[in-house]
Structure 1
Amino acid sequence: MLSLIVPAHDEATRLPGTLRVLHEAAAATVGAGGYEIIVVDDASRDGSGDIARACGARVLRVEHRHIAATRNAGACLATGDTLVFVDADTNIDATLLGAALAALEAGAVGGGATVALRGPLAWHVRWGLAVSNWLLRRMHAAAGCFVFCRREAFEAVGGFDERWFAGEDVALSRALAARGRFVVLRERAWTSARKLRSHPLGEHLLLMLRFAVRGRRLLRNRDALGLWYGDRRD
């Protein structure tokens, strides 16, 4: 059984499209009876849970507002021996999902994908994205929009580290890589560039500067991470 886990906070406008392509990719890869989709509805106020149910997903309601804890809650409910975490603003296809499953069959403990952003992008965004993908590949780390692993390995490392309100994807990747081969696939996961629209470049640069000064301590403070936990969306 393949378990696809989608954390969602106020994602009513995006879930129908995300879940439709997830169903298509999973059905083409493992067959209609070989997968489940779990949407972890984290304190949504826009009916995200009801929309997810209407789109054929199992729904778990939580009140964490903590991405690591929300993903872990979905993993606890999941019944599959393969876990795939997909963000609610991310689209994957059968090619990427098939490559992920093939990597696991070949002995990898987990992995991620090359991140691609939808829509027209400014030159500095394209440059930054290329650098980010290169760094993640060099670090053997996955971006949180698409992470896959064996359940056995996930449980062995304790899942996503709930000390972190951001960067939990890199922490999990490093923990998994310590147990075996962790791959970052060339295939693309297409995700939204909405943070670039909702938060100007200056806010991104300021966050990078604060991280350079405070280091990983910054990632333990939800109030300092408005880019992920603030109310500004699209």
Structure 2
Amino acid sequence: MNAVVDVILPCLNEAEALPWVLARMPDGFRPIVVDNASTDHSAEIARDNGAAVVDAPQRGFGAACHAGLLAASADVVCFMDADASLDPVELPRVTTTLGTYGQGPGLVLGRRRPSGRGAWPLHARLGNAVLARSLNGKAGTVLRDLGPMRAVRRTRLLDLALEDRRFGYPLEMVLKAAAAGWTVAEVDVTYRPRRGRSKVTGTVGGTVRAVRDMRRVLAEAAQ
């Protein structure tokens, strides 16, 4: 594709994965690595591999995502994990589904399809399924996954004024998009075993924290 798409990559100690992720970025997709106070030279590695780097010293997944969104300038922005569990080569599938402005979905999520041993631990998959069901009941969506690879138009997302700066950010994005009357769609993407140490889905504690944050966002939306 000719148009530039900004790809926001929240990053906390992903030095092992970043070279592979950045090497597979498609033409027309510009990586923005948001360094969330890493201690393993992730920022330096990202720069050496051609990415723009934004510092987000406030720890939190949502804080990193929002810092990347503010730094982006393209009409379309994508979000994806920087741990090599998602392949940037599949980004055009997500952005193509987004369609042109005013036509097609307002937000597209990549529905994860696990590939490889340990790609998506059972505890994380169950937590995701419960949250997706709760979200669908609240927002009227029909999602099967709260996929971390997603595409949206930058100015429209800024207009949603997302407030969560923790793991509730992705869920809040869908809630507010649905409340604004957007169509939220899914497209299948491959989900691989991550590289390096997992901070969230690979650990029970990380999954519990993510579920807790997302449940909080759902509870606040119900008030």
Normalised by the size of structure 1, how large is the TM-score?
Answer: 0.70
- For residue 145 of structure 1, what is the aligned residue in structure 2? 148
- For residue 59 of structure 1, what is the aligned residue in structure 2? 53
Q: In 2, are the aligned partners of 1:112 and 1:148 still within 8 Å (CA)?
A: yes
Amino acid at match of 2:43: G
The offset of 1:13, in angstroms, is 0.7
- For residue 110 of structure 1, what is the aligned residue in structure 2? 107
CA deviation string 1:16-49 (max 9, x = no partner): 112122x2xx22xxxxxx3311001111111000
SS at match of 2:163: coil
Percent of pairs identical after alignment? Answer: 23
- When the two chains are superposed, the root-mean-square deviation of aligned CA atoms in Å is 3.7
SS at match of 1:91: coil
Aligned residues: 202
Distance in 2, Cα, partners of 1:50 & 1:80: 24
The offset of 1:153, in angstroms, is 1.4
Amino acid at match of 1:199: T
CA deviation string 1:183-218 (max 9, x = no partner): 121x21425464689535xx579x39x95xxx5179
Q: In 2, are the aligned partners of 1:140 and 1:174 still within 8 Å (CA)?
A: no
CA deviation string 1:63-114 (max 9, x = no partner): 1111112111111111100010111123235445234323332421112011
- For residue 11 of structure 2, what is the aligned residue in structure 1? 8
- For residue 174 of structure 1, what is the aligned residue in structure 2? 175
CA 129–116 in structure 1, closer or farther in 2 if over 3 Å, else same: farther
Distance in 2, Cα, partners of 1:11 & 1:191: 15
CA 51–99 in structure 1, closer or farther in 2 if over 3 Å, else same: same
Gaps of 5+ in 2: none
The offset of 1:118, in angstroms, is 4.6
User: As a proportion of its length, which structure holds more helix?
Assistant: 1
Amino acid at match of 2:146: A
Q: In 2, are the aligned partners of 1:104 and 1:150 still within 8 Å (CA)?
A: no
Matches within 5 A, 1:117-196: 117-121=114-118, 125=122, 128=126, 131=129, 135=133, 138=136, 139-140=141-142, 143=146, 145-158=148-161, 160-162=162-164, 164-179=165-180, 180-185=182-187, 187-192=188-193, 194=198
- For residue 216 of structure 1, what is the aligned residue in structure 2? 216
